[in-house]
Amino acid sequence: MTGDCKIWNVPKAPAAQRAVTRSKIPTLLFAGSFDARTAPSLAEGAAKTLTNSHVVIIPGVGHIVVPKSPCAQQVFSSFLANPNAPNTSCVAGLQPTPFTVEPPT
């Protein structure tokens, strides 16, 4: 339990809520390469027990992938049209936008 849960007196969740999900249902897992909350490795880990899943990592995007990336929107639409074979071809051409951090003056 985290400190917040103790303060609010939140009981421990049942074991069933912590069980690994296993499924053959077509699943699309997006991750942004700059996501500080849920790293792409977590999507890849989830895919291990989702046997019909597709992991799509969008370069240069943070946590909110689909609204921020036209390519992710295209992939999402193609997944809805064909859940077993979404078109991810636009991802290969993506590059993160270059940025610099200037030193303090």
Residues 43-56 pLDDT 10s: 999 999 999 999 99
25 vs 13: CA distance, rounded Å: 25
Domains of the chain: total: 1
Burial of 56 (0-12, 13-18, 19+ CB in 10 A): buried
Distance, CA of 96 to CA of 81 (rounded, Å): 28
Using a pLDDT cut of 70, give the percent of the chain over it: 98
pLDDT score of 2: 63
- Rounded to a whole number of angstroms, the distance between the first and last alpha carbons of the chain is 43
The domain in which residue 85 lies consists of: 21-93
82-93 residue pLDDT tens? 999 999 999 999
| Inside any domain, residue 13 | no
Residue 59 included in any domain: yes
DSSP letter at 105 equals -
Whether residue 44 is contained in a domain is answered as yes
